[in-house]
Amino acid sequence: MKKKLLVAIALGFLGFESAVAQDATTGMKFLDAEQYGKAKEVFEQLAKSTPTAENQFNLGYFFLKTKQPDLAKTAFEKGAGLDPKDNLNKVGMGAVALAKGDRAAAKLIIDEALKASKNKNVKVLTRAGEAYTGYFNLADSKTLYPTTDPAEAVRILSLAVALDKNNADAYSALGDAFYLKGESGPAVSKYEDVLRIDPTNAKASTRIAKIYWGGKNLVLAQDNFKKAIADNPEFAPEYREYSDLFFYGRQYKNASKNFDLYLEKSGSTDTEDILRGAQLNFLADEFGKVLDKLKLLEGRPRVPIMDRMEGWSNFKQNNYDKAVSNLERFLASYDKSKHRPEDYKFLGQSHLRLAMPDTAKAVMNLEKAAEIDTIENGYKEIAAFWQSARKYDKAAENWEKAITRDKKPLSNDIFAYGQALYAYANGIKVVSGPDSLANRQMKRDMFLKADAQFDRFNKFREEKGEAPFLAAYSSRARANYFAYSREEFLENALALPHFQKYIEMAEKEGKEKNKSTLIFSYKVMGGYYAASKMKDDMKAKEYFAKVLELDPNDQVAKDFLTPPVPPVVAPTPKVPGKAAPKTPAKKAK
């Protein structure tokens, strides 16, 4: 009975130790997967519920790997106090000294621990060698701590794998040490040893992928990232590293997607991680996600770039009042030399879209955007804005700037410039007074400038072999017609060939399709032949007849072709009973 009781107690202890070991292993998996909140919970709970030297080391190790060396030191000191013969916590104290840059003290402490364990404890050797790597950080291929000795790490870790050829942790740390020495081949070999021991080790596959990526072997890099994800979808770092591969390949949608998975799997609340995620969402045009992430950072220290991202995103999400606030704050606080055209462009466009638009500020910011933009021609947007606002003088001014800036102006922009000049000229009133001559001259100049742009537009299309655009030919004719008074037109007939060309083209395309402009053109031609020195009633009647074909009720054409009969004036009737007045007789001289 006593023997059975002892066996039961022993089995109970074995079961307890197994459960603790399993919990510590789980904590390490969480730590490797950068699920720091879960890892901390496991290690703190173990240290509290089962205060052993090993559990204190694990807690200190967690603090070291999360860049909290002071808390690590406290944990290691407590572990050493629980078991003065424990060498793991001595290694931990040496690692803290390395983390703080004291290489000499670290070597004394670590060498003492190795000597005490006679270089026979694989875990002591593994953690000692790993300490000399400065804890390789996969995120940026650097170390958490700057004081390292990769050669010493290789020496110590080689002893560990010689003792236990199936220790994945030792091979993984040895791979890191070789990588730090710049020996990528041996590093990959050691990570492959990890996969030999643990074929689904996502950490090893991710490190291999990272090395292949660094060597620009993107096919093998992607293959290993995909393997890591398939083997362990919960290993957060694989998504962050895969995201970086897509980022540098400018595949921003995939970069954003994978970094979002990193944040989800890791549960990270780190400001830099959330901001990185927001930046990738921003590049992927996922502006709603940008705003969601920046909201998580409320109350934390801000950097100006957050205002830019928030401003652009609010603009894209139609939150114009917020966009104005964000972008004005950003432009006021950020180095002017780093302002981008879009900062001013989106600010200007937001001012236009406010419930109470601020046109002055809008145009001011759009002009600033146009001045500094070396890629997009912002003057086109300003010109289009003024054109829609019927401020044709300003529209023409900005179309001219836009066309001057472009080395190869677009034909459509040239046509729009001509339209703005035409509309501006059309709005100039010529009335009697001291300014009448100047206004008449300005009106003429603007119409002729418009004509030059329409001519330029037509030639562009001809050179490219494009079909004629009838509106440009009609506009040329009208510009030449309205540039002069009716008397001047009848004298110089400059518009006549343009109307003739337009009529020929429009009739060919279809009279009904071009009805209104054809009617106007027929009237101009008919009027010319009816009233000019080239008077030709037959031609005039021909054109007015064409008007009636399209509009039988046109009164001008009807009056010309069938002049109204003058009314007959009846004689004044005599009034009965009254004699006609006598003409006084002339007196003889």
The pTM (predicted TM-score) of the whole model is: 0.77
At 241, list the tokens. Answer: 């590293």
Nearest alpha-carbon partner for 193 in 180, 205, 210: 205
Distance CA 307, CA 446 (A): 45
Nearest alpha-carbon partner for 534 in 578, 489, 570, 500: 489
Domains annotated on the chain, with CATH: 199-301 (1.25.40.10), 377-483 (1.25.40), 498-560 (no CATH)
Here the contacts of 8-14 (C-beta below 8 Å, separation 24 or greater) are none
Burial of residue 569 (number of CB atoms within 10 Å: 0-12, 13-18, 19+): exposed
Read off the pLDDT of each residue in 104-126 and give the average, rounded to a whole number. 97
pLDDT (0 to 100) of residue 478: 97
As a whole number, the mean pLDDT across the chain is 91
pLDDT (0 to 100) of residue 65: 96
- Pure H helices in 33-141: 36-49, 53-65, 69-82, 88-99, 103-116, 122-132
Read off the pLDDT of each residue in 315-339 and give the average, rounded to a whole number. 94
Residue 547 carries which side chain, given as an amino acid letter? V
pLDDT tens digits along 370-426: 999 988 899 999 999 999 999 999 999 999 999 999 989 999 999 999 999 999 999
Residue 569, pLDDT above cutoff 90 = no
Residue 318, pLDDT above cutoff 80 = yes
pLDDT tens digits along 445-501: 999 999 999 999 999 999 989 999 999 999 999 999 999 999 999 999 999 999 999
At 433, list the tokens. Answer: 């007074």
pLDDT tens digits along 296-305: 999 999 888 9
Residue 433, pLDDT above cutoff 90 = no
pLDDT (0 to 100) of residue 407: 87
pLDDT (0 to 100) of residue 588: 40
Q: Which residue has the higher pLDDT, 139 or 393?
A: 393
Residue 342, pLDDT above cutoff 50 = yes
Distance CA 197, CA 169 (A): 10
Residue with tokens 């364990």: 117
pLDDT tens digits along 247-262: 999 999 999 999 999 9
Residues in a beta bridge with 142: 137
pLDDT (0 to 100) of residue 8: 38
At 219, list the tokens. Answer: 């096919």
Residue 134, SS3 per DSSP = coil
Read off the pLDDT of each residue in 179-203 and give the average, rounded to a whole number. 96
Distance CA 60, CA 73 (A): 7
What φ, ψ does residue 142 adopt, rounded to 5°? -120, -170
pLDDT tens digits along 49-103: 999 999 999 999 999 999 999 999 999 999 999 998 999 999 999 999 999 999 9
Residues in a beta bridge with 136: 143
Confidence of residue 542 (pLDDT cuts 50, 70, 90): very high
Three-class HEC string of 204-243: HHHHHHHHHHHCCCHHHHHHHHHHHHHHCCCCHHHHHHHH
Q: How many CB atoms lie within 10 A of CB 143?
A: 16
Residue 10, pLDDT above cutoff 50 = no
Residue 206 carries which side chain, given as an amino acid letter? T
Burial of residue 165 (number of CB atoms within 10 Å: 0-12, 13-18, 19+): exposed
Nearest alpha-carbon partner for 377 in 390, 364, 391, 367: 367
Residue 4, pLDDT above cutoff 50 = no
User: 375-384: b or e for each residue (b if 16 or more CB lie within 10 Å)?
Assistant: eebbbbbbbb
What DSSP letter does each residue of 417-480 carry, written as one string? HHHHHHHHHHT----SSTTHHHHHHHHHHHHHHHHHHHHHHHHHHHHTTPPP-HHHHHHHHHHH
